[in-house]
């Protein structure tokens, strides 16, 4: 475990220095998501030394951590009390900081059942572009005082400011977890996935790839067995699958072509082949493909399909307000100024 | 002059029955659920659709007239208190469920639809909408979005924000923002969290897509009486530590138990210092094992009179006293003032003890009902509004209770919103820089400051006035001055 270290004063000083000298800053944690979004304008503002758990209250289901703390370390700390960060953000290349996870807003395979990282954020401490240190939200579940800046920060890729620390809600780990697989044509797989959303069950993640539907079942033994009983044709497989999918270590992600991601509305059935060119998560709501062989009309028609190598943009009307918001938090456009949202 | 002009323009744009100016017609709109505050709106506009909303906003924008948006008017913090020189935009006519996607488990609705009617509309499909504020029979989903409403099931199922997938928002400068959709994520910066809970300060929500959940096949409610508040608190911590997230976890103190018993005779143990009501839901297998464990933990923490219920009627009976807690107060006191602070749960007994001594200091009684799972405290201050001095003491006690919540790391409002009611304690929760940031954020969507002005975020001038007052030892100078 890394020794806790409060590097906030240096970080605040760096921001103030940048304000005074009209410099720009690119925020950097572990740099594991550089292929997703990376700012290269200006001096690197390194948050990875600002580390450590500030407070962990298993009985309150909350943890407060400095932004540079690694996701692996948070997992280890939570493991001791059989708790977890349910949104399960990706740990690309086995690394990643909690600050980076919040700033990028990416969630793991359990997203429809466990929520995303925005749902886990209870409060945040940031430095805005004026060098002011501010706290929004808090460490309690219910809190409606003031605008919800802490959750707006999720997925904003650092354009509103530097995250110093976050308060997160944690969940108890399920008693057991099992993975099962079913050989199914896409149409049938689609139906099974739909039922994991519309009917009570122990399913907590789905993945369809190359003609096989994988289901993760979580809960107590009786409830997992009850759900397993609904799929008599299924065979059990390794739980590691979900980490591989989450961290893009699964063979599907090994290809060299440009990776594409599509977010589909619930109830919109995409066209998926059995050839392994696409990988479907979230009961059908997140579809990965590679640019090139894939020529799925459903993906092409969907506005949200885009390369997984840049920041995704808001619509034009939204963009007008996002730009103003950026100025409201960072009037000199210090932070990640080359990222456009 | 501009107000009169705006009224004329609205009258020429909306049908006659959609614009109210006659004092007898506007009277019902002078207050929301926080009835201590009243102000007659000069004009009430009742748009039929999104286009009407856009017209009213355009007129307000062009004439520089403030606009306050109102849903069902059940809010408890005065967020819908009319502006003396503004338009009250009431969305109750926009009450249609636009579409239901059974397979995708979503519903798209207009803001005036009541919270409960969403669940009723999809009940046959085995689905429901999870957030359930106690006013759910009357409160509108638009108001729920504006306040980020909670309910008794938040610990497991989240607040309104966690159950909203998409919003259509009209801004005062005439833009329509289509945020989110029916999917789980959407590209770019997420603006939905800004609008949910923004108390009508940023825009008008005209369409909402909510997530529907499958109705749990099985539920069980347990009730236990404790002699010590601390042991009930420890029992809650033990339940969570054992990995159970109950659907609902509520506590009531002795005064609340007595009042509820006198009122509905729910069979709560009158001799208990506190009771814990716990609901678990899920698959039959999960519920059975969770309920068994919770029962054992209650016993281990000294609970007596443990009752459990699996059938709907029995469960309702156990909930009855808790649900009647507020009206029950009306029987033992002419008026009550419901507070809404949230605290980290571990400080519960310390906070309740301090509340008791603050109450003694102000010579008032306080009953406590508490969403124990998520730390949301509802102290009910009992007072007589006809005695102005007593009302003043109740308000003062309320502010001190909220400051106490902030001092232990909590917040001034868990689910009722700031409105006009909690502007003072907001000054103790946020710094000058944070409040200024809020105002810069508001300007992004409402540069002219016409959307629900004076609510939710206190001005710096207001806070320095309040802080100045504190220096004087809690004695308010110039009590006759309007402090909002």
On chain A, the residues whose CB falls within 8 A of the CB of B283 are 200-202, 219, 223, 226-227
Q: Is the separation of the CB atoms in B315 and B372 below 8 Å?
A: no
Partner residue opposite A140 with nearest CB, options B102, B194, B343 = B343
Give the domain ranges of chain B: 2-90, 97-214, 218-327, 331-471
Q: What angle do CA B366, B426, A140 make, to 5 degrees?
A: 70
Q: Is-same-fold flag (B97-214; B331-471)?
A: no
Look at A341 and B376 and tell me if their CB atoms are within 8 Å.
Answer: no
Look at B285 and A268 and tell me if their CB atoms are within 8 Å.
Answer: no
Residue A62 lies in a domain: yes
Q: What's chain B's average pLDDT?
A: 92
Tokens of B454: 């004076």
> Helix, strand, or coil here: B59?
helix
- Can you tell me which residue has the tokens 């993760």? A216
Mean pLDDT of B55-73: 98
Residues A157, A195, single domain; the answer is no
Residues A55, A126, single domain; the answer is yes
- Residue A151 touches chain B, beta carbons under 8 Å: yes
Under DSSP, the state recorded for B134 is T
Q: Say how far apart CA A271 and CA A296 lie, in whole Å.
A: 6
On chain A, the residues whose CB falls within 8 A of the CB of B182 are 265-268
Look at B440 and A315 and tell me if their CB atoms are within 8 Å.
Answer: no
Q: Helices (DSSP H) in B199-324: which residue ranges?
A: 229-241, 254-264, 284-300, 312-323
Mean pLDDT of B215-242: 93
Residue A193 lies in a domain: yes
Kindly report, residue by residue over A82-141, the tens digit of the pLDDT. 999 999 999 999 999 999 999 999 999 999 999 999 999 999 999 999 999 999 999 998
Look at A322 and B457 and tell me if their CB atoms are within 8 Å.
Answer: no
Mean pLDDT of B263-288: 93
Confidence at B186, pLDDT banded by 50, 70, 90: confident
Residues A14, A159, single domain; the answer is yes
Instruction: For residue A225, give the chain B residue with the closest CA.
Output: B285
Kindly report, residue by residue over A218-258, the tens digit of the pLDDT. 999 999 999 999 999 999 999 999 999 999 999 999 988 88
- Residue B354 touches chain A, beta carbons under 8 Å: no
Q: What is the pLDDT of residue B476?
A: 40
The CB-side HSE value for B470 (13 A sphere, CA atoms) comes to 12
Res. B472: pLDDT tops 50: no
Residues A109, A140, single domain; the answer is yes
Residue A314 lies in a domain: no
Residue A287 lies in a domain: yes
On chain B, the residues whose CB falls within 8 A of the CB of A155 are 189-190
Mean pLDDT of B296-324: 93
Look at B417 and A136 and tell me if their CB atoms are within 8 Å.
Answer: no
Q: What is the pLDDT of residue A292?
A: 63
Residues A68, A180, single domain; the answer is no
- Phi-psi region at A282: left, alpha or beta (left = phi > 0; alpha = psi -120 to 50): left
Mean pLDDT of A298-325: 74
- Of A89, A288, A112, A192, nearest in space to B213 by CA: A112
Look at B441 and A149 and tell me if their CB atoms are within 8 Å.
Answer: yes
CATH topology of domain B2-90: 3.30.43
Mean pLDDT of B225-254: 93
CATH 3.20.20.80 applies to domain B218-327: no
Beta-bridge partners for B369: B252, B378
CATH topology of domain B331-471: Alpha-Beta Plaits (3.30.70)
Kindly report, residue by residue over B140-177, the tens digit of the pLDDT. 999 999 999 998 889 899 999 999 999 999 999 999 99
Residues A211, A117, single domain; the answer is no
Q: Is the separation of the CB atoms in B110 and B88 below 8 Å?
A: no
Q: What is the pLDDT of residue A311?
A: 56
What distance separates the 2 farthest-apart alpha carbons in chain A? 67
On chain B, the residues whose CB falls within 8 A of the CB of A220 are 285-286, 289-290
Mean pLDDT of B353-373: 94
- Residue A307 touches chain B, beta carbons under 8 Å: no
Q: Could you tell me how many residues make up chain A?
A: 341
On chain A, the residues whose CB falls within 8 A of the CB of B181 are 265
Window B:100-129, CB contacts with A under 8 Å:
101-106, 125-127
Residue A80 lies in a domain: yes
Q: Is A332 exposed, middle or buried (0-12, 13-18, 19+ CB in 10 A)?
A: middle
The alpha carbon of residue A341 is apart from the nearest alpha carbon of chain B, in Å, by 6
Under DSSP, the state recorded for B77 is S
The alpha carbon of residue A79 is apart from the nearest alpha carbon of chain B, in Å, by 12
- Residue A226 touches chain B, beta carbons under 8 Å: yes
Q: Say how far apart CA B252 and CA B457 lie, in whole Å.
A: 31
Residues A30, A95, single domain; the answer is yes
On chain B, the residues whose CB falls within 8 A of the CB of A16 are none
Q: Which residues contact A36 (CB under 8 A, 6 or more apart)?
A: A104, A106, A308, A309, A310
Q: Which residues contact A34 (CB under 8 A, 6 or more apart)?
A: none
Q: Which residues contact A26 (CB under 8 A, 6 or more apart)?
A: A38, A39, A40, A41, A42, A43, A44, A45, A335, A336, A338
Mutate: best of A79, A147, A156, A169, partner B, most B CBs <10 A: A147
Q: Which residues contact B4 (CB under 8 A, 6 or more apart)?
A: none
Look at A318 and B179 and tell me if their CB atoms are within 8 Å.
Answer: yes
- Of B394, B398, B335, nearest in space to B363 by CA: B394
Beta strand B97-101 pairing with B106-109: antiparallel
- Of B158, B159, B369, B170, nearest in space to B258 by CA: B369
Residues A125, A269, single domain; the answer is no
Residues A196, A89, single domain; the answer is no
Q: Say how far apart CA B276 and CA B278 lie, in whole Å.
A: 6
> Helix, strand, or coil here: B23?
helix
Tokens of B201: 């300060």
Confidence at A302, pLDDT banded by 50, 70, 90: very low
Kindly report, residue by residue over B410-430, the tens digit of the pLDDT. 999 999 999 999 999 999 899
Residues A166, A181, single domain; the answer is no
Q: What is the pLDDT of residue B355?
A: 95
Mean pLDDT of B38-60: 98
In percent, the amount of chain B with pLDDT more than 90 equals: 82
Task: Quickly count: other Cβ atoms within 10 Å of residue B407's Cβ.
Answer: 14
Mean pLDDT of A9-26: 96
Partner residue opposite B183 with nearest CB, options A173, A198, A264 = A264
Look at A200 and B282 and tell me if their CB atoms are within 8 Å.
Answer: yes
Res. A41: pLDDT tops 50: yes
Look at A149 and B343 and tell me if their CB atoms are within 8 Å.
Answer: no
- Residue B443 touches chain A, beta carbons under 8 Å: yes
Q: Say how far apart CA B35 and CA A242 lie, in whole Å.
A: 53
Res. B480: pLDDT tops 50: no
Please give the tally of structural domains in chain A.
2
Q: Helices (DSSP H) in B154-209: which residue ranges?
A: 154-157, 192-195
Instruction: Annotate A112-161 with DSSP letters as a single string.
Output: HHH--HHHHEEEEEEE-TTS-EEEEE-SSS---SS--HHHHTTTSTTSS-
- Of A276, A81, A254, A267, nearest in space to B108 by CA: A267
Q: Say how far apart CA B210 and CA B141 lie, in whole Å.
A: 10
Q: What is the pLDDT of residue A293?
A: 47
On chain B, the residues whose CB falls within 8 A of the CB of A145 are 411-413, 418, 422, 426, 429-430
Q: What is the pLDDT of residue B483?
A: 32
Partner residue opposite B214 with nearest CB, options A59, A143, A199 = A199
Q: Is the separation of the CB atoms in B450 and A335 below 8 Å?
A: no
- Of A91, A114, A109, A99, nearest in space to A47 by CA: A99
Look at A119 and B158 and tell me if their CB atoms are within 8 Å.
Answer: yes
Instruction: Annotate A285-306 with DSSP letters as a single string.
Output: TEEEEEBTTB--HHHHH-TT-E
Kind and range of the H or E element at A279?
A: strand A278-281
Res. B359: pLDDT tops 80: yes
Residues A181, A212, single domain; the answer is yes
Kindly report, residue by residue over A144-191, the tens digit of the pLDDT. 999 999 999 999 999 999 999 999 999 999 999 999 999 999 999 999
On chain B, the residues whose CB falls within 8 A of the CB of A285 are 183-184
Tell me the residue range of the domain where A143 lies. Answer: 8-172+319-329
Window A:165-204, CB contacts with B under 8 Å:
171-175, 194, 197-202
Q: What is the pLDDT of residue A303?
A: 46
Q: What's chain A's average pLDDT?
A: 92
Q: Say how far apart CA B114 and CA B136 lie, in whole Å.
A: 7
Q: Say how far apart CA B405 and CA B400 lie, in whole Å.
A: 9
Beta strand B376-383 pairing with B87-90: unpaired
Confidence at B465, pLDDT banded by 50, 70, 90: confident
Residues A160, A131, single domain; the answer is yes
Mutate: best of A63, A82, A146, A167, partner B, most B CBs <10 A: A146
The alpha carbon of residue A190 is apart from the nearest alpha carbon of chain B, in Å, by 11
Confidence at A214, pLDDT banded by 50, 70, 90: very high
Instruction: Please report, for the domain that includes residue A15, its CATH number.
Output: 3.30.465.10
pTM: 0.94
Q: Say how far apart CA B406 and CA B400 lie, in whole Å.
A: 10
Confidence at B468, pLDDT banded by 50, 70, 90: low
Partner residue opposite A223 with nearest CB, options B148, B162, B283 = B283
CA dihedral B433, B434, B440, B446 (to 10 degrees): -150
Q: What is the pLDDT of residue A310?
A: 60
CATH classification number, B97-214, choose in 3.30.428.10, 3.30.465.10, 3.60.15.10, 3.90.226.10: 3.30.465.10
């Amino acid at each position: 475990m890394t020794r806790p270290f409060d590097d906030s004063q240096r970080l605040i000083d760096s921001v103030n220095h940048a304000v005074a000298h009209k410099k720009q800053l690119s925020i950097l944690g572990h740099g594991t998501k550089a292929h997703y979004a990376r700012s290269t304008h200006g001096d690197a503002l390194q948050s990875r030394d600002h580390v450590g758990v500030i407070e962990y209250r298993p009985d309150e289901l909350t943890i407060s951590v400095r932004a540079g703390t690694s996701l692996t370390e948070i997992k280890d700390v939570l493991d001791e009390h059989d708790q977890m960060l349910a949104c399960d953000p990706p740990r690309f290349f086995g690394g990643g900081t909690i600050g980076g996870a919040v700033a990028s807003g990416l969630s793991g395979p359990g997203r429809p059942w466990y929520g995303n990282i925005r749902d886990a954020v209870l409060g945040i401490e940031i430095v805005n572009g004026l060098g002011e240190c501010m706290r929004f939200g808090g460490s309690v579940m219910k809190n409606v005082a003031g605008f919800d800046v802490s959750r707006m920060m999720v997925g904003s890729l650092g354009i509103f400011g530097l995250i110093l620390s976050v308060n997160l809600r944690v969940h108890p780990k399920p008693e057991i977890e099992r993975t099962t697989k079913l050989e199914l044509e896409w149409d049938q797989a689609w139906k099974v996935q739909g039922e994991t959303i519309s009917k009570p069950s122990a399913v907590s993640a789905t993945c369809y790839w190359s003609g096989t539907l994988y289901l993760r079942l979580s809960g107590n033994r009786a409830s997992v067995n009850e759900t397993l009983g609904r799929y008599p044709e299924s065979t059990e497989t390794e739980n590691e699958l979900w980490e591989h999918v989450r961290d893009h270590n699964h063979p599907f992600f090994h290809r060299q072509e440009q990776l594409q991601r599509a977010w589909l509305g619930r109830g919109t059935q995409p066209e998926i082949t059995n050839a392994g060119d696409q990988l479907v998560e979230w009961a059908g709501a997140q579809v990965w493909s590679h640019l090139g062989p894939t020529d799925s009309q459903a993906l092409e028609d969907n506005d949200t399909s885009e390369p997984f190598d840049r920041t995704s943009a808001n619509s034009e009307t939204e963009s007008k307000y996002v730009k103003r918001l950026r100025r409201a938090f960072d009037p000199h456009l210090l932070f990640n100024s080359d990222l456009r949202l | 002059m501009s107000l009169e002009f705006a009224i004329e323009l609205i009258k020429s744009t909306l049908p006659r029955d959609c614009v109210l100016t006659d004092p007898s017609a506007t009277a019902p709109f002078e207050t929301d659920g926080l009835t201590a505050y009243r102000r007659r709106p000069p004009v009430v506009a009742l748009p039929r659709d999104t286009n009407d909303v856009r017209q009213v906003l355009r007129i307000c924008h062009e004439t520089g007239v403030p606009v306050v948006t109102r849903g069902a008017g059940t809010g408890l913090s005065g967020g819908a208190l009319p502006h003396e020189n503004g338009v009250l935009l009431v969305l109750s006519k926009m009450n249609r469920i636009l579409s239901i996607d059974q397979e995708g488990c979503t519903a798209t609705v207009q803001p005036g639809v009541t919270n409960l009617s969403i669940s009723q509309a999809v009940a046959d499909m085995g689905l429901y909408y999870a957030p359930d504020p106690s006013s759910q029979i009357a409160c509108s989903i638009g108001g729920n979005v504006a306040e980020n409403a909670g309910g008794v099931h938040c610990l497991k199922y989240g607040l309104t924000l966690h159950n909203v997938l998409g919003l259509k928002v009209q801004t005062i400068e005439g833009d329509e923002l289509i945020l989110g959709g029916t999917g789980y994520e959407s590209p770019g910066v997420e603006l939905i969290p800004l609008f949910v809970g923004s108390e009508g300060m940023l825009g008008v929500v005209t369409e909402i897509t909510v997530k529907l959940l499958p109705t749990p096949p099985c539920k069980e409610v347990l009730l236990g009486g404790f002699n010590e508040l601390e042991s009930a608190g420890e029992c809650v911590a033990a339940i969570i530590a054992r990995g159970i997230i109950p659907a609902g976890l509520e506590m009531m103190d002795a005064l609340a138990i007595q009042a509820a018993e006198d009122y509905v005779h729910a069979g709560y143990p009158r001799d208990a210092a506190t009771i814990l009501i716990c609901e678990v839901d899920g698959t039959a297998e999960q519920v059975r094992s969770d309920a068994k464990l919770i029962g054992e933990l209650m016993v281990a923490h000294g609970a007596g009179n443990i009752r459990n219920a699996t059938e709907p009627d029995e469960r309702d009976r156990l909930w009855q006293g808790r649900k009647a807690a507020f009206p029950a107060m009306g029987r033992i006191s002419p008026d009550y003032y419901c507070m809404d602070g949230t605290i980290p749960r571990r400080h519960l007994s310390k906070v309740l003890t301090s509340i008791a001594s603050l109450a003694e200091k102000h010579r008032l009684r306080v009953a406590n009902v508490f969403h124990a799972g998520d730390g949301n405290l509802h102290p009910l201050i009992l007072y007589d509004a006809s005695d102005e001095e007593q009302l003043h003491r109740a308000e003062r006690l309320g502010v001190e209770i909220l400051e106490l919540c902030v001092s232990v790391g909590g917040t001034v409002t868990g689910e009722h919103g700031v409105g006009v009611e909690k502007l003072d304690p907001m000054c103790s929760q946020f710094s000058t820089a944070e409040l200024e940031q809020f105002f810069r954020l508001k300007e992004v969507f409402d540069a002219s400051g016409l959307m629900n002005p004076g609510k939710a975020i206190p001005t710096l001038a207001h806070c320095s006035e309040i802080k100045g007052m504190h220096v004087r030892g809690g004695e308010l100078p110039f009590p006759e001055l309007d402090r909002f």
